[in-house]
Amino acid sequence: MKEILNKLIGHQLLSREESRQVLIEMANGTYNTSQTAAFLTVYMMRSVTTEELEGFRDALLELCHAVDLSDYEPIDLCGTGGDGKNTFNISTLASFVTAGADIPVAKHGNYGVSSTCGSSNVLEFLGIRFSREEDFLRRCMEEAGICILHAPLFHPAMKQVAPIRRELGVKTFFNMLGPMVNPSFPKYQMVGVFNLELARMYGYLYQNTDKTFSILHALDGYDEISLTGDTKVIGNTVESVLRPEDLSLEPLAPGAIYGGETVAEAAGIFMNVLQGQGTPAQEAVVCANAGVAIATASGGSPKEGFEKATESLRSGSALKAFKRLQELSA
């Protein structure tokens, strides 16, 4: 690690293979906490390169405990986090809305690091069991249309660095990696990222895969469709800008999608939305994100996807998927 740190301190870049090897050694516990924290800190002060990100991704996928859910052709809805906006759990709710619209979902997630409450925090609070047993995950897909893939169970490297990330309390390149390393290798992916540079990097990397994808970045800084302004959408063949009016919606005030201060508050918002008791703004932003996921997997337009998402939420289908997952977790 000393040689790598000296190289980085000297403003040099790592090759794809060097990046891969560092992550493998990190997963094996070769480095002490100070060395790992120093390495992570470098990437808070400069952007990660495409080659470095590819190498980190290669290592995590090589080491991960893979699970085969290809029969279901699922989609993953996942954000990088790290946008500092502290919204409620929009992509997690959108995952259940998508499942309620009969689109299978393999939701990859983790505990929050730079926000109050990540997807795993709220789901664990609400009684969802995390497991990497394939039989359990397949049963969840069969009966609820969705399964939860809690990242530390599948990624040894993430488990090793989790305490250090918590102590640092700010976003690291692991935020960038999370959506790229779903251990089920889903056919479809909707990813929200915290800046436009990363959106373009993701677009480049995903073009070299067989996935059908939509990469989202709200131009006012959110890692998801916020409806507070316009959202850049990068897909397999086109780039576009999605505006609230494209979904026949009015722009929202940032305070309308705030996520609360505690896990309990976040869980309260989560259940209110699923039970049809959320605010119109909360419902709209969840369905906007689910709508793009549905469109990504089914080939329709975001407006058509939004309409299907709204039906899933208002009919109780999304809530039914969540309750079945709770029952399976008991």
CB-count exposure of residue 25 (10 Å: 0-12, 13-18, 19+): middle
Rounded mean pLDDT, 265-278: 97
Looking at residue 141, its pLDDT comes to 98
Cα 168 to Cα 41, 55, 76, 215: the distances in Å are 9, 23, 27, 27
| Between 174 and 187, residue with greater pLDDT | 187
CB 112 within 8 A of CB 81: yes
Which CATH number describes the domain made up of 74-153+185-329? 3.40.1030.10
Q: How many angstroms separate the CA atoms of 178 and 162, rounded?
A: 13
Rounded mean pLDDT, 92-115: 92
Taking phi first (over 0 means left), then psi (-120 to 50 degrees means alpha), and beta for anything else, what does residue 102 get?
A: left
Q: Taking the chain, what is the end-to-end CA distance rounded to the nearest angstrom?
A: 44
Percent of the chain beyond pLDDT 90?
A: 84
For the chain, the average pLDDT equals 94
Looking at residue 176, its pLDDT comes to 84
Task: Give me 4's structure tokens.
Answer: 């790598």
Looking at residue 162, its pLDDT comes to 84
**Does domain 2-63 match CATH 1.20.970.10?**
yes
Taking only the tens place, the pLDDT of each residue in 163-172 is 888 888 888 8
Looking at residue 38, its pLDDT comes to 94
Task: Give me 205's structure tokens.
Answer: 């990397």
User: What would you report as the CA-atom Rg of the chain, rounded to the nearest whole angstrom?
Assistant: 19
74-153+185-329: same fold as 2-63?
no
pLDDT for 10 beyond 70: yes
User: Which of 158, 187, 218 lies closest to 72 in space, CA to CA?
Assistant: 187
Q: Which amino acid is at 114?
A: S
Looking at residue 115, its pLDDT comes to 65
209 Cβ contact list (under 8 Å, min separation 6): none
Rounded mean pLDDT, 210-215: 97
CB 23 within 8 A of CB 55: yes
Taking only the tens place, the pLDDT of each residue in 63-102 is 999 999 999 999 999 988 878 888 999 999 999 999 999 9
Q: Where are the domains of the chain?
A: 2-63, 74-153+185-329
